[in-house]
Amino acid sequence: MEKEIIPINDLAYQHNLLLNEMLPLVEQVITSGRYVLGENVEKLEREIAKLCGVKYGVGVNSGTDALTLSLHALNIGRGDEVITSPFSFVASAESVIIVGARPIFADIDPLTFNISPDEIGKRISRRTKAIMPVHLFGQACDMGRITQLGKANSLLIIEDSAQAIAASHNGQPVCSFGDVGCLSFYPTKNLGAMGDGGMVLTSNEELYQRLRLMRCHGGKDYTFNFLGTNSRLDELQAAVLLVKLRYLEKWTEERRKNARFYKELLSDVEEITLPYEAQDNHHVYHQFTIRAKERDELRRYLLSEGIQTMVYYPCPLHLQPAFSYLGYKEGDFPQAEKAAKEVISLPVYPGLKEEQILRVANAIRRFYKRREI
């Protein structure tokens, strides 16, 4: 009998659960005749801003645009350097290059996978304009130390919070530490749309007004004092996100519960290292990412058992062909390089059943020749 597939994520389950709530709102949008930057977007901006502990939200069409527009709005460009992580999705460094600045990588903390404040400090130069910490896999960076570095060196801070909505550090939400915080609503995110979407969060009113213009080509009423781009969140996505936002707290706790169960089941498997949650952090487990010996062989075995996994990320950014002109080489960021060879993400999504988690854990135990539970 063919094994039931345990997917890395199950978006259909989530959407089918909420279909009766989403369809009336979608119908309202269709009949309203207003499809871009309407009342649903405005309401979503207010509610996400409140969740993140800031004054303003600006809905845009992707997390990448949220980063790029933030850099533009903060006047970061040619001749400037932005310190960020080499162990992240390409959009983090890509956005820096898009605005004409130069990404300067700093190695990661091997426990959290997040950028190391100590390594940031070593790379600050007279050209440094900003720090872009990436809250990877759902865990906040050490924002206490990073904001101290920012203040001491008069640097701007752009939080890449694409994977970490509702995460916090010392009780303070991500997106509220820096000059701006950036979210992605890509479908697989903890709060995901049914298409692309993103948002910039800030408490700076001047920056807020500038960002609102920038997402609409930089102007209003056909007057353009500067140039922006076309990056507007649409009403249909905002309507879907408003429904799903009601469940975010519940889904986050489900992710945390699933993570606790994995840790309980796998705590004695010496060949893997389980995710570390810093004592002062509230981890939202966008991914449940372990380090594993014989990682690639383990992945193949799990797939043969009907269990999907992912590797985020198999090659750190400084070794990607697109960034070769920056002059980095293998060995420059050993912690990021080591992580790229060892990490594997297991299914952790809301709706994952305990028996499925047990099946994943037992498959890992079998691979490493441990007694099944």
**Domain contains 372:** no
Asked if residue 4 is part of any domain, the answer here is no
Please, which residues have CB within 8 angstroms of residue 171's CB and are 6 or more apart in sequence?
282
Q: Are residues 199 and 78 in the same domain?
A: yes
Bond prior to 313 in cis (omega within 30° of 0): yes
- 302 assigned to some structural domain: yes
As to burial, measured by CB atoms within 10 angstroms (0-12 exposed, 13-18 middle, 19+ buried), residue 21 is: middle
Question: Does residue 68 sit in the same domain as residue 164?
Answer: yes
Give residue 283's Cα distance to chain centre: 12
99 located within any domain: yes
Same domain membership, residue 181 and residue 50 = yes
Q: Both 233 and 254 in a single domain? A: no
Reported as half-sphere exposure (CB side, CA atoms, 13 A), residue 283 has a value of 23
Average pLDDT, the chain: 96
Quote the CA–CA distance of 213 and 227 in Å, as a whole number: 9
For residues 65, 70, 73, 76, the Cα torsion angle rounded to the nearest 10 degrees is: -110
Do 304 and 342 lie in one domain? The reply is yes
Number of structural domains, the chain?
A: 2
Query: Is residue 159 within a helix (H) or strand (E), and if so which, with residue range?
Result: strand 156-160
Two structure tokens written together for 216: 């609409």
Residue ranges in the chain modelled with pLDDT below 70: 1-2
Task: Identify the domain containing residue 234 by its residue range.
Answer: 11-245
Statement to judge: residues 45 and 80 lie in one domain: yes
CATH code of the domain covering residue 213: 3.40.640.10
**Burial profile 72-81: b = 16 or more Cβ within 10 angstroms, e = fewer:** bbbebeeebb
The verdict on 45 and 175 lying in the same domain is: yes
Write the pLDDT tens digit of every residue in 45-77. 999 999 999 999 999 999 999 999 999 999 999
The confidence score (pLDDT) of residue 1 equals 56
Residues 207 and 109 occupy one common structural domain = yes
Domain boundary among 226, 245, 264: 245
* Tokens read off for 2: 């063919």
pLDDT score of 13: 86
Task: List, as one string, the DSSP characters of 138-190.
Answer: G----HHHHHHHHHHTT-EEEEE-TT-TT-EETTEETTSSSSEEEEE--TTSS
Which tokens hold the place of 156? 């701007």
CATH number at residue 287: 3.90.1150.10
Give yes or no: residues 235 and 253 share one domain.
Answer: no
**3 domain residue, yes or no:** no
The reply to whether 220 and 123 lie within a common domain is yes
Does residue 5 sit within a domain? no
Q: Are residues 155 and 253 in the same domain?
A: no
Say if 192 falls within a structural domain: yes
Indicate whether 298 belongs to any domain.
yes
Q: What pLDDT does residue 165 have?
A: 98
Residue that terminates a domain, selected from 202, 225, 245: 245
Which pLDDT belongs to residue 335? Answer: 98
The whole-number pLDDT of residue 348 equals: 98
Of 193, 215, 245, at which residue does a domain stop?
245
CA distance 256 to 243: 21
pLDDT value at residue 40: 96
In one-letter notation, the amino acid at residue 348 is V
pLDDT score, position 304? 96
What's this model's pTM, rounded to 2 decimal places? 0.96
The reply to whether 59 and 203 lie within a common domain is yes
